[in-house]
């Protein structure tokens, strides 16, 4: 699978995976190996929404309200709920419009930016509560693993996922409301690294295993402004990155399709071929 990182050209996910899993043939491609477990495994990169879901301190949390849950007069069981949530909490999408007036909203993001080969840059050995991923981190990754390919879903692993759902450990504070924001401490991406990515690579999207692509102490959210200004979507609070290889996996990240939305709940998964 090592050569896969150099050949991504926007070919649909299943075609790439099947090419990797078996020899080329003029016969119709059998996609079943992607889904029946014979061609690889699927990894869920998503936290469930619940009372434990971590949100930005000023955001409304997830709420699930029971409408019905039990036997009906007609004799059958029936269950239904309503839910409410801020767009930005748990494993979620940041649409470019979150920080860019002319950026794509949640419903406008093309699938080509939500599906692609995964590249996992692991900085867990260096990450601290205020660590900023640098250009040097990205260049060191490429020196060892090759250039980040066009169309890649770039995932930044800091190890912060190991702290979920401990709010104090994950955010740096248990406080909520505006007064909590100055107390936030978690890693993020240096604005210089965001600029380097935008100017030198053509990634589809970027995800991180922390609450924000900017570090907790950011006040200007420069990394948001830079990447989303380039119409690159972001995925925050991504789970289970440690289960992915550095290269060779493929990501499918499908958010709730909210018309005009600046983000929304995200179900993100990865396929790791055999």
Segment 181-191 mean pLDDT: 98
Mean per-residue pLDDT of the chain: 92
Segment 150-169 mean pLDDT: 98
pLDDT at 30: 82
Residue 72 scores a pLDDT above 60 = yes
Percent of the chain with pLDDT over 90: 88
As given in the structure block, the two tokens for residue 33 are: 């190996």
Domains and CATH numbers, the chain: 2-60+87-273 (3.50.30.50)
Segment 239-254 mean pLDDT: 98
Report whether 271 contacts 250 (CB < 8 A): yes
pLDDT at 12: 46
Q: Which of 8-17, 75-84, 161-170 has the lowest mean pLDDT?
A: 8-17
From CA 37, how far away is CA 24, in angstroms rounded? 20
Report whether 156 contacts 121 (CB < 8 A): yes
Residue matched to tokens 């740096």? 172
Residue 271 scores a pLDDT above 60 = yes
pLDDT at 225: 98
Q: Which of 25-29, 124-128, 188-192, 220-224 has the lowest mean pLDDT?
A: 25-29
Contacts of residue 45, defined as CB under 8 A and 6 or more positions apart, other chains included, come to 91, 207, 238, 239, 240, 241, 244, 251, 268, 269, 270
pLDDT at 24: 52
Residue 244 scores a pLDDT above 80 = yes
Residue 152 scores a pLDDT above 90 = yes
**Span 12-51, pLDDT tens digits:** 444 444 444 455 556 777 889 998 989 999 999 999 999 9
pLDDT at 27: 72
200 or 14: which carries more pLDDT confidence? 200
Catalytic residues: 98
pLDDT at 25: 57
């Amino acid at each position: 699978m090592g050569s896969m990182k150099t050949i991504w050209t926007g070919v649909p996910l299943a075609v790439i995976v099947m090419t990797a899993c078996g020899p080329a043939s003029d016969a119709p491609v059998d996609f079943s190996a992607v889904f029946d477990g014979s061609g690889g495994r699927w990894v869920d990169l998503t936290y469930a929404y619940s009372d434990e879901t971590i949100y930005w301190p000023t955001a409304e949390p997830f709420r699930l309200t029971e409408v019905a849950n039990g036997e009906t007069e007609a004799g059958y069981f029936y269950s239904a709920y309503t839910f409410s949530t801020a767009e930005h909490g748990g494993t979620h999408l940041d649409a470019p419009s979150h920080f860019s007036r002319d950026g794509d909203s949640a419903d406008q993001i093309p699938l080509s930016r939500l599906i692609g080969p995964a590249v996992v840059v692991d900085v867990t050995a260096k990450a601290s509560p205020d660590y900023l991923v640098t250009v040097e981190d990205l260049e060191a990754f490429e020196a060892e693993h090759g250039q980040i390919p066009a169309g890649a879903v770039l995932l930044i692993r800091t190890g912060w996922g190991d702290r979920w759902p401990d709010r104090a450990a994950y955010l740096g504070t248990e406080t909520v409301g505006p007064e909590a924001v100055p107390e936030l401490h978690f890693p993020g991406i240096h604005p210089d690294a965001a600029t380097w990515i935008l100017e030198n690579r053509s990634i589809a999207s970027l995800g991180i295993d922390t609450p924000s692509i900017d570090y907790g102490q950011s006040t200007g959210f420069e990394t948001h402004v830079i990447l989303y200004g380039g119409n690159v979507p972001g995925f925050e609070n991504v789970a289970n990155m440690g289960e992915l290889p550095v290269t060779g996996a493929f990501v499918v990240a499908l958010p709730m399709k909210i018309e005009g939305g600046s983000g929304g709940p995200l179900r993100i998964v990865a396929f790791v071929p055999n």
